[in-house]
Amino acid sequence: MTVSAPTRVLLLGGTSEIGLAIVRRLGLQGSVRPVLLGRDPEALGAALAELERSGCSGGEVGPLDAEDLDGHEAALAHAFDATGGFDVVVLAVGVLGAQAALDAPIEQALEVMRVNFIGCGSLLLHALHRLREQRHGTLVVLSSVAAERPRSGNAIYGAAKAGLDSLAQGLADALAGSGVRVLVVRAGFVRTRMTAGLKPAPMATTPEAVAQATVAALDRRAHTIWVPSRLRYLFAVLRHLPRWLYRRLPL
């Protein structure tokens, strides 16, 4: 009897509820060896213990700070070298803030842009370099429907996600035929700790629903998904509305 090797999964943003749900969902299809990188060692340890209770094994945790750009290359190199490479890398780093747009503190707005675009963009580039070197693997990028057309209330977050989304899409095309794929996940409002206290948007969803859709998309080799899927059709209309009309919508 041949026992298949575990799927090696690297979660950047190792305490992300959506990211952890994706790892657990992958575990339903076979054995998974997870590596979680993030800022809080205690929270990472608790997240790994939860994954192990769900059936994952051989996992590890390590430090990673999205704003420490100089440390990204070494952090990913250590994870790849120690594990022998990864089959799936999930980029789940992100912060939600500056929802008041111009009325938000400037430093809060800058943090959102630094983490969600500069920091995540750096991690995306380093991860893709490593995946290209091993000539296989998939990078899952947690984007947002806000990337499609930012609203006035989430202009900072939406712009940062739009930059990351665009970078991921462009680099995915550059990697065509290399054995490396990029899957961009454009989720709507997801009920998590990060969105606690905010009024849920229409068609709000859960980490588990995002994970289910993501793993299904990995199986069919998709490059972009919307969660819930009907948001694709809604934004097909919204992206073409005149600005004077769009800004009046209660979004």
- Contact between 139 and 181 under an 8 Å Cβ cutoff? The reply is yes
Dihedral sign (CA 193, 197, 198, 199): positive
Alpha helices in 94-202 (DSSP H): 106-113, 120-134, 155-174
> Cβ of 243: how many Cβ atoms within 10 Å?
8
CA distances from 141 to 145, 183, 214, 241, 243 (A): 13, 6, 10, 27, 28
Query: Which segments in the chain show pLDDT lower than 50?
Result: 1-3
> Catalytic: which of 157, 168, 217, 218?
157
Cβ-based neighbours of 149, under 8 Å, separated by 6 or more:
158, 235, 238, 239, 246
At residue 196, φ and ψ (nearest 5 deg) are -60, 135
Q: Under DSSP, is residue 120 helix (H, G, I), strand (E, B) or coil?
A: helix
Q: Is 157 designated active site?
A: yes
- Copy the structure tokens of residue 142: 């947690």
Angle between helices 207-219 and 17-27 (to 10 degrees): 50
Radius of gyration, CA atoms only, the chain: 18
Question: HSE-up of 147 (CA within 13 Å, CB side)?
Answer: 26
Question: HSE-up of 220 (CA within 13 Å, CB side)?
Answer: 9
- Given this model, what pLDDT does residue 2 score? 37
Angle between helices 17-27 and 41-53 (to 10 degrees): 30
- Given this model, what pLDDT does residue 88 score? 97
pTM of the predicted model as reported, rounded to 2 decimal places: 0.93
- Given this model, what pLDDT does residue 71 score? 98
